[in-house]
A and B are shown apart, each in its own frame.
Chain A
Amino acid sequence: MTLVALCVISFLHLQLGGMASDTSFNGHVLTLFEQSALLFGTPAESFTEINYYYVQLPRWLMGLIVGAMLGLVGSLMQQLTQNPLMSPLTLGTASGAWLALVIINVFFPSWVGEYSAIAALMGSVLTLLLVLAIVGIRNVSGLPIVLAGMTVNILLGAIASAIILLNDQYAKNLFIWGAGDLGQNGWSWLQWLLPKITVALAILLFAPRLLTVLKLGQQGATARGVSVVPMFLGFIAIGLWLVASVITAVGVISFIGLLAPNVARILGARTARDELWFSLILGAILLCATDSLALWVGAYSVDIIPSGTATAMIGAPALIWIARHHFRAQDSLSISLPGGRAHLGRYTGWLLGACLVLATLLYTLFSYSGNGVSLLLPNEFVWSVRWPRMVTTLAAGAGLAIAGAMLQRLVYNPLASPDLLGISAGATFTLVGSSLLFGVSIHESGPLVAFSGSMLVLALLLLLGKKHQYAPSMLILTGISLTAMIEALVHFALTRGGEDEYVILTWLSGSAYRAQGSHALMLLAVVLVLAGLSISASRWLTLISVGRSFATARGLNVSWAYVLLLSCVAMLCAIVTTTMGPVAFVGLLAPHMAIMLGAKQVKPQLVVAALLGALLMLTADWLGQIVVYPGQISAGILVSIIGGGYFIFLLMRSR
C-alpha cells in the first residue's frame, strides 16, 4: 500500500516539476514516453530534456532520499530513546549548521564555495554533542532532551542573528538554505550525499535487534547478553552523521523526522524492523508530497517557495493533530538543577532591590561617547529617549521572569521557558504575515496585530490542551510545532530579497530601541497587574506544584486554575513581545537563579525572579548599547547569549 502511494506521489512530483518549469519558460512538456526514454539512457539534448534530467530528476530523488533518511533517523532515535518527541528538529542540530554557515559567510567569505559543506556538518555535529552533554546520555527518554535541544536552538539562533544583523549583506545568500530547499542543479549534491548515507544500511540491518531488546528494558537486554551502551552510542552517532549530512545538502527541513515514525506507528507498524522501514518510506512520501505542493504553488507565484516552508506549513498542523489523537500524556521530570541555598537569606531580597536601583541609576546617568565616559544628569531630550527604554526593559524582564516561574510550576518542568509555548511566535507570525501580505513595515503595523497573534496562539493552546487536561508534553509539543512553522515562514520572508529583511530581522532580535513612552507605561501597568494576580494566586501554584491529585483533593478546580494561570503566562508573554519583540531565556533563567538564591516557595520565587529578570534585561540593554558603539546589540540577543551560555554551564555542572 505505502509503496503504491510512493509511486503515485513520485509521479505527481515529476509532472508538477514539468509544469512548474513549463509556466516559467514556455517550453513544451515532455510526454511520458520521452521521460522514460531519458530515464533509460537517451542523452538529453533540448533544454526541456536537460532540465528534466538535471533538475527535476535529481530534485525528486533528493526529496526521496532526504525524506527517507529523516524518517529513518527519526524512527531510530524515537525507538532508542522510547521518546515519541525525539527528532532531528527537536535536537537543535539545524541551528548549529546555520550558525556555522553564517560564520563562514561573514568572516571567511573566500571559503564559502569550498568549505561550507564541512562547516555545516561540523556545526550540526557539535550542536548535537552539546545537547547530549547537557542532558547526559542516560536522560534521553523524556522531555528534558527536547527542551535542552530547543534551548541550544534558541541560543545558537540568537548568536547567528546577532552576526547577521551586524554584517547584514554577507548572509544574504544563506537565507534560501535556511528556509530548506530541495532545488537541484545537476547531480553533484546527490553524488556528494549518497556515499555519506550508505551507513544507513547498518541501521536497517543491525538496529532492529537492539531496538527489540530495548523494548524489554535495559535489564532485559543485559540479561540477553546485549551490551546496550556501546551499541546505543554507535547508533546515535550514525543517526547524527546522517542528519548532519542531509542538513548540509538541503538546509533546514523540519517535521519529517518527527512525523514519519508517529504515522508509521499509527498505521500499525509494531515490530522495530517494521517501524524503521515504514518510517523510511513514509518519510520519502511525506517530503515528496510537500515538495510537490511547493512546486505547484511556486508555479503560480513570483517568488520561489522553498520546500522547507511547505513542509513546515503541512507538518506542524499534522503533528498537532497526531499528538492530540495518539499521544498519552506522559510527563517526566528527570533532570535536576543545582539546588543552591536552602533558604532565602534575610537580606537577599533587599540586596537585589538595591542592585536594581543602582543599575537604574547607572542606566539613567551613564553616557558613553566612543572615547569617553561621563556620569551626568540627562537633559530633557536624552531622558525622553532613555526612560521608555528603561521602563520597557525593566517591565519586560520582570514580566517574563514571572511568566517563566509560573510556567515551570504548571508544567512540572524546570526547563520550560515561556517562549516555548509559541506565544511570541504567534506575534511574530501575524507581524511578518501582515508585512508579507500587505507590504506594511513591521514597525508600523502596530502592537494590536502582534497581540492578536499571541492571543490566537493562546486560544489554540487552550483549545488543544483541554483534551489532555493541559498536560505539559502536549502544551510544549504544540508550542514547538507552532514555533517551527513560524520560523519557516520567517525564513521564507527573508528569502524574498530587497531591503525589508533587515527590518524583520531587527524586530526578531527583541530590541527595546523603539520603545515609546505610552507603550512602555502600558507594558508596566499590565505587568504590574498580572504580577499582582500571580502572587495572589500563589496558593494555587503551590498546590499544583505538589501534584494535580493533591490539588484536586484540596478542593481546587485544577482545569479552571490551569486556564487562568496559563492565560496569565500568555498575556505576559504577549504584551512583552508586542512591545519589544521576542525575548528568550529571561523567563527560563530568572526563576532558576531565584531558586539558587534560596527562594523555593512560590511567593518569594516570583518576587526574586521578577527582580532578577528586570536586572538581567536592564543590564543586557545597557551593555548592548556600549559593546559595539555607536551601533547596538539588542537586549533580546544579548540576554540570549549571556543567559544561554550561563544556562548551559549550569546544566552541565549539575550532572
Chain B
Amino acid sequence: MLIKYLAPIDWLKSKNKFTQSITLATLVFCLLFSWSIKAEIWVEDSDGKHSFTSHPVRVAALNWDIAEQVIELGVTPIAMPDLTGYEQWVVTPAIPEGVEDIGARIEPNIEKLMALKPDVILIAAPQKDLASRLEKIAPVLFYQTYSESHDNAAAAVDNFRKIAQLLDKTALAEQKLQAMEARLDELRSALLTAYDGNLPQVKAIRFASVNSVYVYGENSIPQYALSKLGVVESEVQPRTQWGIAQKRITALQQFSQHTVLYFEPFEYRDKLAESRVWQAMPFVQQQRFNRVAATWSYGGAMSILYNAEALSQSLLELAPR
C-alpha cells in the first residue's frame, strides 16, 4: 500500500521487489533517525535535565511566579491557579484571554487539570510534593525561585531562561532580559540626574500594622531591584527564604540615614501619621519617606523590573529636583 502512495516518486519505480524493499527500508530508517534527532530537546529545571520530543504548547503553570513568567514569554498558559487573587496581588503581567482557573495554589484541582490535557506542568515549591501525582497527567518541571540557600533574584532570572528554553522562546527571553537591563540603566541614570549623582540609601518595607513592618533585606526582589537602580545598601539583614523579616516599628529607627519606602496598600496611614514615635523617625522628620505603588514581591524575573519601576517612581517623587 505504501508503495502505491509513493509510486509517483520516480526512483521507487524499480523493477524488482528486492530493490523496492531495500529502498523502502532505507527510507524508513532515515525517517526513524530524523525522529530520534528530533527527540533531543533537553531542558533544565531546578532538579536537573529532562528530555522532550518537542516544545510543549499547552502549558499549565501551578504557581503565580511561574505563570507570570510564562505570560511574559508570550505564551498563554492553559491553566493557572486562583485568577482573582492573581489579578489583585500580582497584577502585571495581565492574564491573557482563555486561561482556565484551576483553584488554589496549594490545592490545584487535579481532575480539571487532567481534563485540560496539558503538555507540561510547571510547578514551584508549594506543589513539590504533588509532583509524582501530576506526572501521571504530563511531564512535570519544577522551578524553585525562593530559597534561603540561593540568591533569589539570580534564581528568578535563571528560571526565566530555563522556562524560555522549554517553550522555545530563548530569543524572546534574552531580548526581554536585555530590555530589562536597558530599562534599569535608564531608570538608574534618571535617578542619578535627579539626585545629582548622590543616591540616598533606601530601605523598602511593607506595613503589617501600625506596630510592625516587614523589612525587605538580603535575598528579596525589592532589595535587588534597588541595587540595580544604583542604591548601595550598608545595613545587612540576615538572608531568609523570602528576604523579609518582621520587625517592630521602632526598629526602623536604625535606618537613620535611609530613605524609607513602603509598598501599598496600607490602610492605617492616617493613624500612623499621628504617632509621636513615627514623627520622631529621622526619615519622617527629614521627609525621606514615600509610598510605592502596589507590586508583587514574590514574583519572577520580570518582577525585578516592575519593582524597580515602582521604586524609582517613588524615589523620583522625593528627589530634590
Contacts and interface: CB of A to CB of B under 8 A. Distances in A.
Interface string B68-85: 000000000000001001
Given A24-B251, A630-B103, A176 B137 contact: no
Interface stretch (A47-55, A203-211, A543-551, A566-574): A47-55
Contacts of B102: 630
A298 B245 CA distance: 13
A630 B245 contact: no
A250 to B, nearest CB: 10
A209 B259 CA distance: 60
Interface string A476-498: 00000000000000000001111
Given A54-B276, A186-B275, A511-B107, A304 B129 contact: no
A580 to B, nearest CB: 12
Contact of B275 (A54, A176, A630): A54
Contacts of A500: 241
A247 to B, nearest CB: 15
B316 interface: no
B126 A499 contact: yes
B214 interface: yes
Contacts of A502: 105-106, 126
B83 to A, nearest CB: 10
Contact of A181 (B211, B240, B250, B268): B211
B249 A303 contact: no
A513 B126 CA distance: 14
Nearest to B282: A47
Give the residue among B88, B101, B207, B209 with the most A Cβ atoms within 10 A: B209
A175 B207 CA distance: 13
A175 to B, nearest CB: 8
A439 B148 contact: yes
A634 B106 CA distance: 12
Given A169-B89, A630-B109, A302 B240 contact: yes
B114 A632 contact: no
A26 interface: yes
Given A514-B130, A631-B103, A632-B103, A304 B246 contact: yes
B208 A185 contact: no
B146 A499 contact: yes
Nearest to B115: A369
A27 interface: yes
Interface of B (DSSP majority class): mixed
Contacts of B105: 502
A53 B265 CA distance: 29
B146 A444 contact: no
B320 interface: no
A50 B256 CA distance: 15
Nearest to B84: A167
B242 A632 contact: no
Given A50-B276, A186-B276, A55 B104 contact: no
A381 B114 contact: yes
Interface residues of B, number: 66
A54 B279 CA distance: 11
Given A47-B282, A499-B298, A302 B238 contact: yes
A631 B242 CA distance: 26
A443 B137 CA distance: 21
B41 interface: no
Contact of A50 (B114, B211, B280): B280
B213 to A, nearest CB: 10
B247 interface: yes
Contacts of A642: none
Contacts of B249: 185
B212 interface: yes
Interface string B213-257: 010000000000000000000000110111011111111011010
A647 interface: no
Given A25-B253, A54-B277, A629 B238 contact: no
Interface string A363-376: 00001011000000
Interface string B258-291: 0000000101101110111110111000000000
A8 B275 CA distance: 29
Nearest to A513: B107
Contacts of B101: 630-631
Contacts of A39: none
B212 A176 contact: yes
B248 A173 contact: no
B111 interface: yes
Contacts of B272: 185
B125 interface: yes
B182 to A, nearest CB: 31
Interface string A603-640: 00000000000000000000001001111101000000
B88 A169 contact: yes
A81 interface: no
A625 B109 CA distance: 9
Interface of A: 21, 24-27, 44, 47, 50-51, 53-55, 109-110, 112-113, 165-169, 172-173, 175-177, 181, 183-186, 188, 298, 302-304, 367, 369-370, 381-382, 384-385, 439, 441, 443-444, 495-500, 502-503, 506, 511, 513-514, 625, 628-632, 634
25 contacts: A24-B247, A24-B253, A44-B276, A47-B253, A172-B208, A185-B210, A185-B275, A298-B248, A304-B246, A381-B114, A382-B111, A385-B133, A439-B241, A497-B242, A498-B241, A498-B242, A502-B106, A502-B126, A503-B126, A511-B107, A514-B107, A514-B130, A625-B109, A629-B103, A634-B107
